[in-house]
Amino acid sequence: MSAFAGAMMGMNFGSQLGAASSNYEMTKLQNEMRTESAKDAMNLDREILIRRRKEESRAYVQSNIDLQRRALEAESRANVSMGEAGIEGLSVDNVKSAIRRQEGQTRQRQKETFDSKMDTIDDSFERSLQVMIARMQGLTPPAQPNLLAIASQSFSPAIDSKMADSFDGWFDKTFSSTGAEGTPS
């Protein structure tokens, strides 16, 4: 084999090793970037959902205050109307009880709606978390350069039949005459 052929095989080995190493590093870098992107997306979703939770809580509190105010106004109007009509006693108490019962029913419906909205927000967060995990699990693992494969590709022109026969003989002599326990006999 000439020095030029040996140098060419060495350069081929170096270039293949460099390409494999670059591919390995690039895949690692891409995975890091995709992981960061998945985390950033999840953090943004979390911030949006926290804001939605606060908005829904404020709206719920405000609707309870409005309901209480409307119930007090209705009770006040009933008192005035019945007082002007000269109605007293049990009739007035019955009207007030009906107003409070309606207020309680409305308050319960509002609470159920609020709880449902909070559950939906929690489900959205869980879905966001699962999407992030799926994105991270779907990353391609970087492949380590296989030095033996690269070397065998690069230097295969230098291996002739005499060298292969010599290796086969050595391999057979070393590994084929083993006893039952796997030790050379």
Interval 135-176: pLDDT, tens: 888 888 888 888 878 887 777 776 666 666 777 777 788 887
Give pLDDT, residue 26. 94
- Give CA–CA dist 79/93, Å, rounded: 10
Interval 38-75: pLDDT, tens: 999 999 999 999 999 999 999 999 999 999 999 989 88
Give pLDDT, residue 161. 61
CB burial string 52-76: b at 16+ within 10 A, e below:
beeebeeebeeebeebeeebeebbe
Give pLDDT, residue 1. 58
- Give CA–CA dist 117/31, Å, rounded: 36
